[in-house]
Amino acid sequence: MLCHYKPEVTAAHALSAEAILAKPYVIVEQAGYVGERDVARFDDYWKALAALNADYDRDERDELHVAIAYEAPEGRTYEV
């Protein structure tokens, strides 16, 4: 299975709430599934979208269930 997961980028447990909200747009693999993984964080939706398109082709996005999530103060949403 393909995977672009980078553990050094995804240590969300080590990030403070301020750091999470400073870069609220997150590229997520296995979005909405068991094993969901944060791959990279961005401060801007368009930067996240550009990175997603540069790093994943259509088949990879489908196979890995890649999505952009938004970390709002009340929780994560995929309604971006």
Whole-model pTM: value is: 0.76
Residue 50 confidence (pLDDT)? 96
Round to whole Å and give the CA distance between 15 and 47.
Answer: 20
Say yes or no to pLDDT of 26 above 90. yes
Provide the 3-class DSSP secondary structure of residue 67.
strand
Strands 67-72 and 37-42: unpaired
Residue 58 confidence (pLDDT)? 95
Residue 4 confidence (pLDDT)? 54
- Residue 31 token pair: 């979005």
Residue 22 confidence (pLDDT)? 81
Residue 10 confidence (pLDDT)? 46
